[in-house]
Amino acid sequence: MNRVIRAICLTAFVPLACSRSASHAHMTSETMEATASSAPVDAAIERDLERVRNATRAYRDIAAARADGFPSSTPKCLTHPTAGVMGYHYLDRRRLDARLELERPEILLYARDTDGKDKLTAVEYIVPLSEWTRSEPPTIFGQTLKRSEPLKIWYLHVWAWEENPSGLFADYNPKVTC
Per-residue model confidence (pLDDT) at position 92: 96
Residue 26 main-chain phi, psi, to 5 deg? -115, -35
Reported residue count of the chain is: 178
Report the distance separating Cα 23 and Cα 151, nearest Å: 11
Instruction: Report domain extents, the chain.
Output: 3-158
Per-residue model confidence (pLDDT) at position 165: 97
Per-residue model confidence (pLDDT) at position 132: 96
Residue 51 main-chain phi, psi, to 5 deg? -60, -40
* pLDDT tens for each residue of the chain, 178 residues long: 333 333 443 344 433 333 322 333 454 433 433 444 445 569 999 999 999 999 999 999 999 999 999 999 988 999 999 999 999 999 999 999 999 999 999 999 999 998 989 999 999 999 999 999 999 999 999 999 999 999 999 999 999 999 999 999 999 999 999 8
Q: Which helix (H) or strand (E) holds 91?
A: strand 84-91
Per-residue model confidence (pLDDT) at position 60: 97
Per-residue model confidence (pLDDT) at position 4: 36
Sheet holding 153-158, edge to edge: 77-80, 84-91, 107-112, 118-128, 153-158, 146-148
| 119, β-bridge pairs | 111
